[in-house]
Amino acid sequence: MSPLASYRRLFSLAGPRYVLVAFVGRLPLAMSQMGTLLLVAGTTGSYALGGGAAGALAVANAVGAPVAGSLADRIGQRPVVLVQSLAGGAALLALVALAVSGRSPAVVITAAAVAGAAMPQIGPLARVRWRPLTRGQGAAQPRLMETAFSYEGAADEASFVLGPALIGVLVVLVSPALAVSVAAVLLLAFGTAFALHPTATLAHAHRSTAAATGRLLTAAFGVLLGAQLLIGVLFGSIQTGTTVLTTAAGQPGIAGLVHASLGVGSVLAGLAVAGLPVRFGFPSRVLVAALGLAVLTTPLLVTDSVPRLFAVVLVLGFVIAPYMISVFVLGERVVPASRVGTAMTLLAAVTGVGYALGSAVAGRLADAHGHPGAFAVTVAAGSLAALLALAAQPLLRRVSATGRMSGDDAGAVEGAPA
Instruction: Give the integer Cα–Cα distance in Å for 262 and 321.
Output: 10
pLDDT, mean over the chain: 84
Contact 127, 342 (CB under 8 A): no
User: Which of the pair, 233 or 411, is modelled with greater confidence?
Assistant: 233
- Return the C-alpha torsion angle 375, 284, 66, 362, nearest 10: -10
User: Once rounded to an integer, what is the mean pLDDT over residues 87-102?
Assistant: 91
Is the CA virtual torsion 217, 220, 223, 224 positive or negative? negative
Neighbouring C-alpha atoms within 13 Å toward the C-beta of 168 = 22
If you count them, how many residues does the chain have?
418
- Return the C-alpha torsion angle 173, 174, 179, 181, nearest 10: -150
Of 281, 297, 318, residue with least CA distance to 383: 297
- Between 253-267, 288-302, 350-364, the lowest mean confidence (pLDDT) is in 253-267
Contact 257, 38 (CB under 8 A): no
User: Which of the pair, 261 or 23, is modelled with greater confidence?
Assistant: 23
pLDDT at residue 415, as a whole number? 37
pLDDT at residue 204, as a whole number? 59
Residue 394's Cβ-count burial label (10 Å; 0-12, 13-18, 19+) is: exposed
Of 126, 123, 112, residue with least CA distance to 32: 112
User: Helix, strand or coil for residue 215?
Assistant: coil
- Return the C-alpha torsion angle 133, 202, 216, 61, nearest 10: 100
Contact 43, 181 (CB under 8 A): no
Which range of 50-59, 79-88, 161-170, 325-334 scores highest in mean pLDDT? It is: 79-88
User: Helix, strand or coil for residue 417?
Assistant: coil
Contact 259, 385 (CB under 8 A): no
Of 112, 118, 116, 89, residue with least CA distance to 184: 89
pLDDT at residue 1, as a whole number? 61
pLDDT per residue over 2-11, tens digit each?
778 888 888 8
The pTM of the full predicted model, rounded to 2 decimals, is: 0.76
pLDDT per residue over 137-162, tens digit each?
767 777 788 888 888 888 887 887 78
pLDDT per residue over 32-57, tens digit each?
888 898 888 888 777 778 878 887 88
Q: Which CATH number fits domain 13-401: 1.20.1530.20, 1.20.1250.20, 1.10.3470.10, 1.10.1510.10?
A: 1.20.1250.20
Helix axes 282-297, 219-248, angle to 10 degrees: 30
Instruction: Judge whether residue 414 has pLDDT over 60.
Output: no
Of 290, 286, 322, residue with least CA distance to 396: 286
pLDDT at residue 321, as a whole number? 86
Instruction: Give the integer Cα–Cα distance in Å for 390 and 226.
Output: 13
Instruction: Judge whether residue 88 has pLDDT over 80.
Output: yes
What are residue 368's phi and psi, to 5 degrees? -95, -35
Contact 38, 164 (CB under 8 A): no
Contact 338, 166 (CB under 8 A): no
Which stretches of 222-368 are assigned E, i.e. beta strand? Answer: none
Instruction: Judge whether residue 410 has pLDDT over 60.
Output: no
| Band of pLDDT at residue 239, cut at 50, 70 and 90 | confident
**Quick one: what percent of the chain has pLDDT higher than 90?**
32
pLDDT per residue over 168-223, tens digit each?
788 878 888 898 999 999 999 999 999 999 888 876 555 544 444 557 778 889 99
Residue 307's Cβ-count burial label (10 Å; 0-12, 13-18, 19+) is: exposed
Of 85, 36, 29, residue with least CA distance to 61: 29
Instruction: Give the integer Cα–Cα distance in Å for 302 and 120.
Output: 37
User: Helix, strand or coil for residue 175?
Assistant: coil
Instruction: Give the integer Cα–Cα distance in Å for 391 and 318.
Output: 23
Instruction: Give the integer Cα–Cα distance in Å for 53 and 32.
Output: 11
* Secondary structure in 3-state letters for 393-414: HHHHHHHHHCCCCCCCCCCCCC
Instruction: Judge whether residue 413 has pLDDT over 70.
Output: no
Residue 319: DSSP 8-state = G
| Band of pLDDT at residue 388, cut at 50, 70 and 90 | very high
pLDDT at residue 174, as a whole number? 82
**Quick one: what percent of the chain has pLDDT higher than 70?**
90
